[in-house]
Amino acid sequence: MLKIALFTAERSAEEISLKLLKSIEKIQPFKLYAASSDFLTEKADCEMIYDTSKLSAIGLVKSIQKVLAVTNYIRTVSEKIKDINPDILIFVDFGGTNVRLAKKLRSIGVKSPFIYLFPPGPWGKTQDEMNNMSEPFDLFLVPYKFYLNAYKSTGKKTFLIKNPILDDEKRIFPIRALTFGKGKTNIGIFPGSRPQEVDWIMPFVLDECINKQRDFTFNIFPFGPLEKNIFKILISKNINVEERTVKRVDASIATSGTMVLRLVNEKMPFVGVYRIHPWDFWFYKKKLEKSNQVFIPPKYNEKRICFLLPNILLGENIFPEVLFPYENMWDRVEYVLKNQQLLLDASEKIINELSDETYQKDLGNLIFSNIHAKPQPLF
């Protein structure tokens, strides 16, 4: 039986991983070893080799704060992988940490094929940096065309695959919400599925919503495990909420990249919000000023580039986005309410772009056509 090791650290990436694993299982049964959260172990038959649920971070400063934890993770997992000796190693998202882990595993003699599903974005990277980052991997499965050229330029096998979110039949609405405000216009707030997205961004979002309660009704759609985090913030802001089932909203505020794509897929107008540490802002600004990058995102304004995926895919600033603490949010919400048809048309364009025939869907066959993996005895 095939032995597969999988490494990821975020709920959205684990959901994507499940789609990939099901595709592989249709061709070859396997034993799965996972460095992930318990979400994956609940959904798939696997042996957890490390709980990564507290390792992900937003931005450079937050990542630096987790250096010791990540270092321990890489050391511990490397030792376990050497003993397990998997036939295939699959890295999903989790940017710099997965690259470091892959290099460590190669350095200790792991020679099995390395597959990277949804590798780091190419913006801000030179060709030399791309070559260095791609060195330990054998196969890249990338979700967007601007990734495709950047990774192909490294000389590694690279294929364009359709994001599983686009084929997800689950609809957002109707959905349970924590509601406050008395207005007729309904605004949805999607806090995300990572603690950082809730604790780091939600207070800023709520600060701008509190003074609008008379004219708007706000509906917070909590992600189960993080509902306690949301209630702590609501209590700190003295916001009283009621629990309701919401069937629609007029506009949404999204703090999660995954939710942004879901909203685009369901053609719901939104504003994307993000928060960045001042040191991160300075670092990324300098990094993106380099002239020899393999990919440069479109400009949002004179001070920065677009960070929202839909704008990057379109190559221009169409969807409103907010970068806390440098920009205010509410005028962008009003823009969404006034320009819904423009945003719906842009969503349609993106979905058509992400669903054309160049995107591979049969991931299992794609993988086994491009790597050599020989099953070995489990014991």
Each residue of 7-32: pLDDT tens digit? 998 888 888 899 899 999 999 999 99
* Residue that is written with structure tokens 């491009």 in the block: 370
Which alpha helices (DSSP H) does the chain contain, by range?
11-25, 38-43, 59-64, 67-84, 95-107, 127-134, 145-152, 195-196, 202-210, 227-236, 257-265, 278-287, 309-314, 330-338, 340-354, 363-368
| Both structure tokens of 309 | 């995926």
Residue 267 confidence class, pLDDT cut points 50, 70, 90: very high
Predicted pLDDT at 210: 95
Predicted pLDDT at 288: 72
Query: CA 117 to CA 69: how far, in whole Å?
Result: 23
Query: CA 257 to CA 239: how far, in whole Å?
Result: 26
Question: What b/e readout covers 289-315, taking b as 16+ CB neighbours within 10 angstroms?
Answer: eeeebbeebeebeeebbbbbbbbbbbe
- Give the residue with greater pLDDT, 72 vs 256: 72
Total residues belonging to the chain: 379
**Helix (H, G, I), strand (E, B), or coil: what is residue 183?**
coil
Read off the pLDDT of residues 287-343 as tens digits, 9 standing for 90 and up: 777 778 899 889 888 888 888 999 999 999 999 999 888 889 999 999 999 999 999
- pLDDT, mean of residues 159-179: 89
Read off the pLDDT of residues 270-279 as tens digits, 9 standing for 90 and up: 999 988 877 7
At 81, give phi and psi (nearest 5°). -65, -35
Predicted pLDDT at 91: 97
| Contact (Cβ atoms closer than 8 angstroms) between residue 286 and residue 223 | no
Predicted pLDDT at 374: 66
Residue 39 confidence class, pLDDT cut points 50, 70, 90: confident
CATH architecture of 2-162+357-368: 3-Layer(aba) Sandwich (3.40)
All CATH 3.40.50.2000 domain ranges in the chain, comma separated: 2-162+357-368
Give the DSSP H or E segment for 252.
strand 251-254
DSSP state of 167: G
pTM of the model: 0.91
DSSP 293-352: BS--PPBSSSS-B--SHHHHHHTS--S-EEEETTS-SHHHHHHHHH-HHHHHHHHHHHHH
Indicate whether 196 pLDDT > 80.
no
Predicted pLDDT at 350: 95
| Both structure tokens of 248 | 């629609």
| Contact (Cβ atoms closer than 8 angstroms) between residue 147 and residue 359 | no
